[in-house]
Structure 1
Amino acid sequence: MYRHIVVTTEGTDIDHAAIRHAAGLTRALGARLTLLHIVPDAHRELDSGNDLSVNAESIEQGWTREGEHLLAAGVQDANCARLTPLQRPARGRDIPQAILQEAAALGADLLVMATHGRKGLAHLLLGSVADRVVHDATLPVMIVHAGTPLPAGDAP
């Protein structure tokens, strides 16, 4: 079935549920798990036409350090022997595009992501990385909400 599962982390509280769910699937299927964090491209994120006198490189370095902490926390959440933490820079790509390209480069056959599940105006205003990934994906994508039960036998 699935041999290589990729789960994303971006530092939200709901990431924990997706990571634990992906780890449970990994154990049940005997698959490999990659925990993926994409470091946003500060030049792209800050390109608002304003002269903010901000050093994009130092911001990206901070985001990279934060990503390292997120990956370490995700490794603890997953508690999975066949897990590889991986951090990649977006480098000119938006986050959904970077997630899909990295998952393809890794040869993933399932992508697991968390979502807030916003509806209505909040969804229209804030958008959703998960929605964009699902729309553009060429591999199966599992969306996990914070309250999604874990697979049988994988209670924390």
Structure 2
Amino acid sequence: MYRRILVPLEHSSYDQVILAHVRQLASLCHSSIVLIHVADGWAARNQLSLKLRESEEMRVDRDYIEGLCATLRGEGFETESILAAGDPAAEISAAADREQCDLIAMATHGHRGLQDVLYGTTANGVRHRTMVPVLMVRGPVGGRIR
């Protein structure tokens, strides 16, 4: 059903929520997994236009996503990692097309009302920008993983 699953990660406890779900889905569908983290700090957003070196934040993010990629490979999954920079929703949507993914699986925070407007911009932006199906798995409210 799904050949390639794009998994946006935010370098938080919510990543484990979506990765647990994607592990099961990828096993059932024999899918490859493409992990993406979009660094969106000032240096990351301006790295190319100002020809800046990779920031410490981006180095930490790269180590994090490559470490998760190595863990998934060790578990037998075909996995790649991408570190992007800029607007998260735009970068995730573009990566889904570029990497020929047929599913985007992401964790959501479960905000309601005004909080959703303020904090739910990435998930909402992705679902409005892409024609690729988006699976949203709600993480625990408050970010506490048990």
Give the TM-score range, shorter chain.
Answer: 0.7 to 0.9
- Written as runs of structure 1 = structure 2, the 5 A alignment for 1:119-130 is 119-130=112-123
SS of residue in 1 equivalent to 2:95: helix
- Written as runs of structure 1 = structure 2, the 5 A alignment for 1:111-122 is 111-122=104-115
Query: Is the CA contact (8 Å cut-off) linking 1:19 and 1:78 kept in structure 2?
Result: no
Superposed displacement of residue 124, structure 1: 2.2
Give 2:21's aligned amino acid: H
- Written as runs of structure 1 = structure 2, the 5 A alignment for 1:77-156 is 80-90=75-85, 93-146=86-139
Superposed displacement of residue 41, structure 1: 5.8
Match in the other structure for 2:62: 68
SS of residue in 2 equivalent to 1:143: strand
Larger Rg: 1
Superposed displacement of residue 68, structure 1: 2.2
- Unpaired segments of 5 or more residues in structure 2? 141-146
Match in the other structure for 2:9: 9
Using the alignment, how far apart are the partners of 1:75 and 1:24 within structure 2? 17
Encode CA deviations 1:72-106: one digit per residue, 9 max, x unaligned: 1465378642232322332xx41100111011100
Give 2:2's aligned amino acid: Y
Match in the other structure for 2:143: none
Using the alignment, how far apart are the partners of 2:89 and 2:17 within structure 1? 20
Equivalent residue pairs, number: 136
Query: Is the CA contact (8 Å cut-off) linking 1:42 and 1:57 kept in structure 2?
Result: no
Give 1:68's aligned amino acid: R
- In structure 2, relative to structure 1, the CA distance for the partners of 1:27 and 1:44 (3 Å cut) is closer
> RMSD across aligned C-alpha pairs, in angstroms?
2.7
SS of residue in 2 equivalent to 1:19: helix
- In structure 2, relative to structure 1, the CA distance for the partners of 1:112 and 1:83 (3 Å cut) is same
- In structure 2, relative to structure 1, the CA distance for the partners of 1:33 and 1:127 (3 Å cut) is closer
Using the alignment, how far apart are the partners of 1:80 and 1:34 within structure 2? 15
Q: Which has the higher contact order (CA 8 A, sep 6+)?
A: 1
Encode CA deviations 1:114-138: one digit per residue, 9 max, x unaligned: 1101111222233420111112221
